[in-house]
Structure 1
Amino acid sequence: MDVQTTWQAASEIIREIPRSGLLVATVLAVLGSMLGTVVARRYSRVGRTLATTCTVALAAILVVVMLQVSRFDPRLDIAVPELGLPQQTVSGGETRVPLAPDGHFWIQATVNGTAAAFLVDTGATLTAVSVPLADEAGLEPRTGGVPVRISTANGVVSADLTTIDALRFGNVKAGGLDAVIAPNIGRTNVIGMNLLSRLASWRVEGNTLILVPHNPQPAA
């Protein structure tokens, strides 16, 4: 890697730092801890207090990161789906969803009245719900339905088809939506192209996902 390539890579990292609140907090906590160690040599009480505060802050950041990552790992059933998600808004007939700190778009929705967070995946053909959400929302496998095969982090598995009577978020409402009850994905839920294709339009501008329904509903 030459000097120019290295400098370009470093520049990209530097530009991304202000966009990540967790990264900024981590850098500040590390610097504060280092400063506290230095100050402690002369003003022991002040230095120790600063160093301890920054250490606690770093521990809190680590917990937040672990809970966010746990959304993607079915082995960790401790996920708090709403943790760290930016607030989606409705404006001018559009639902606007900011990019989350983990680099994905997450939609806060309700399924048959049950609140749940959904990862937007344009590579997924069908919307998928976790087994816990299916149980909470009263979703049943379709009678006489043939299980479909889906790819997960643990390989290809069978999943039952179901029908979501009402999926709502922002000013969007979808009824009679096909979905799969996906095992082995923990509490992760996915919005696929079968829902996005029902919209009048959807697009990404900067770090915001913009969804425009054909018939805007009152904001959920």
Structure 2
Amino acid sequence: MIVTGDDRLHTLRVGQLTPDGVRLISVRGDSAVVEIDGKRQTLALGQRVVSKSSPDERARIVIEGDSRGHFVVPGTVNGASMRFLVDTGATAVSLSAADAQRAGIDYKKGLRGQSNTANGIAPIWIVKLNSIRVGGIELSGVDAAVHESEMPFVLLGMSFLNRMQMTRDGSRLVLERRY
């Protein structure tokens, strides 16, 4: 199931196209590959998520909440694929050292600091991301915190979300780029 720019949920067969041009390429186990504007994107099970905007609209995405009410969405940091968890409680986009390295970030050149996490105080490095993309929204120069501990997701924190208009509609979260 895919949520598209027309804000409708579509169930597709492989090869089928939604009215606004999102094509289902393949389904394998717990993931699906879709094609949007010629670019392929892999979605994990439960990520009934993707929105496509037409060029004359402000960039926006619609994220369907999972069974626990979390908003998980695929995207990229500096072109490297990541899974993001929308986290309004995180001051900045937060990623693990392993994710930072996959994205080509030399995080130890960043500003060293500390973060108060649910697990206590943790050392971090503050960096600027060259590029962060979620759906059709791409931003540059976004502050991020790199943690040396493992993290199951990249936290999509307020350094990204502050540039969005966020609207909750039932089990959906709509992010629309403000600037």
C-alpha distance in 2 between matches for 1:211 and 1:82: 20
Alignment partner of 1:195: what SS?
helix
1:3-152 equivalences in 2 (<5 Å): 82-91=44-53, 93=58, 94-141=60-107, 143=109, 145=111, 147-152=112-117
Number of the residue aligned with 2:167: 203
Corresponding residue for 1:193?
A: 158
Matches within 5 A, 1:167-186: 167-186=132-151
Q: Is the 8 A contact 1:131 1:187 kept in 2?
A: no
- Is this contact kept in 2: 1:159–1:180, CA < 8 A? yes
1:77-108 CA distances to partner (integer Å, 9 max, x unpaired)? xxxx9343222222464210000123201121
Aligned partners of 1:160, 1:106: CA distance in 2, in Å? 24
CA distance in 2, matches of 1:173, 1:137: 15
The one of 138, 151, 156 aligned to 2:121: 156
1:90 counterpart SS class: coil
Using the TM superposition, give the Cα deviation of residue 144 of structure 1 relative to its aligned residue in structure 2, in angstroms: 6.2
Distance 1:118 1:144, change over 3 A: closer
Distance 1:104-1:116 versus aligned 2 partners, 3 A rule: same
TM-score (norm 2): 0.67
Consecutive unaligned residues of structure 1, counting only runs of 5 or more, are: 1-63, 65-80, 216-220
Q: Where does structure 1 differ by over 4 angstroms across 4 or more consecutive aligned residues?
A: none
TM-align CA RMSD: 2.2
Are the aligned partners of 1:142 and 1:163 in contact in 2 as well (CA < 8 Å)? no
SS of aligned partner of 1:134: helix
Give the strand-richer structure, 1 or 2: 2
The alpha-carbon distance between structure 1 residues 144 and 162, as it changes in their structure 2 partners (threshold 3 A), is: closer
Q: How far apart in 2 are the matches of 1:123 and 1:214?
A: 20
Read off the aligned partner of 2:52 and give its amino acid letter.
Answer: V
Cα offset, 1:153, TM superposition: 4.1
Q: Determine the structure 2 residue equivalent to 1:7.
A: none
Q: Is the 8 A contact 1:133 1:187 kept in 2?
A: no
The runs of 5 or more residues in structure 2 that have no matched partner are 1-29, 31-42
TM (norm. structure 1) is 0.55
